[in-house]
Amino acid sequence: MAVPEKGVKLLDFWMSPFGQRCRIALAEKEVEYEYKEEDLSKKSDLLLKSNPVHKKIPVLIHDGKSICESLIIVEYIDEVFPGKTNILPSDPYARSHARFWADFVDKKVYDCGSKLFKSKSEALEELNKEFICILKTLETELGEKKYFGDDAFGLVDIAFAPFTSWFYTFEALGLSVEKECPKLAAWGNRIMERESVAKSLHEPTKIYDLFCELRKKFVDA
C-alpha cells in the first residue's frame, strides 16, 4: 500500500473567498504548504478524488488525508497546528458564538453578495437593501470591538475577511459599505494590517475587473 504523502497541500482557486479563508488561517499559524491552483473548467483528478461529494475547492490535504469545506478546514487548522494565534477561543460559549457568526457569513453574505453580482439592474435595489441589512447585522455584532473575536483575530474575522475585497465592486453597484456600515469598513481596513490577510486577499480593483468581465458575458448579454 502506498505511503501517504507527508505535508500540507491546498487545492484552491485564486478568486475564491472560501480558499482565501484557508490561506489566511494557514498564514496565521505559519504553516508551510503547497498551493495548487485549480482550473475550475477542467478539475484535476486529485480534486475530484479528494472531494468526490462536492467536487469543489478549497480542499486541504494533510499527510494524504483530505478535509473539505472552508470553515471545517479552518477549524481543523486551528486544532492541528498550535501556532501563536488561536483561531477559536477556549471558552465553550465563546466558541459557539464564533461558530454561529461564521456560519451566518456563510449562510447570508455569500448568497446575497453573489446574487448582487449576477442580478440585472431592476433587481439591484431590492438586493442592495437585503445586503445592507445583512451587513448591518454583522456590524452590530462587531460593535466597538477591534475584531469580531474582540481583541483576538479569529474565526469570524477569517470567515468574513475575503468579502472585504468585494466592497469596491459593491460601491459600483450603488452600495457603499463605507457609508452604510462605517464600523465594518473600518474593520476591513484594520484587518488588512495583518500580514496573513494582506497577502491572501486580492486588490479590490482586480475583483471589480473580473466582475465587469463576467457581467458582460452572463448578465448583460
Q: Which residues bind other proteins (CB under 8 A)?
A: 52-53, 62, 65, 67-69, 72-73, 75-76, 79-80, 92-93, 95-96, 99-100, 103-104, 137
Task: Show the cell assigned to 116.
Answer: 448582487
Place of cell 486529485: 46
In the complex with other proteins, the residue whose CB is nearer, 93 or 217, is: 93
The burial of 79, by beta-carbon neighbours within 10 Å (0-12 exposed, 13-18 middle, 19 or more buried), is given as exposed
Residue 205 has, within 13 A of its CA and on its CB side, a CA count of: 0
In the complex with other proteins, the residue whose CB is nearer, 88 or 197, is: 88
Distance CA 82, CA 31 (A): 10
β-strands 34-37, 8-12: how paired? parallel
Compute the least distance from the CB of residue 92 to other proteins, in Å: 4
Place of cell 494565534: 85
Compute the least distance from the CB of residue 57 to other proteins, in Å: 15
Compute the least distance from the CB of residue 170 to other proteins, in Å: 22
In the complex with other proteins, the residue whose CB is nearer, 78 or 157, is: 78
Residue 141, number of CB atoms within 10 A of its CB: 15
Compute the least distance from the CB of residue 214 to other proteins, in Å: 25
In the complex with other proteins, the residue whose CB is nearer, 63 or 203, is: 63
Compute the least distance from the CB of residue 72 to other proteins, in Å: 5
In the complex with other proteins, the residue whose CB is nearer, 23 or 194, is: 23
Counted residue by residue, the chain has a size of 221
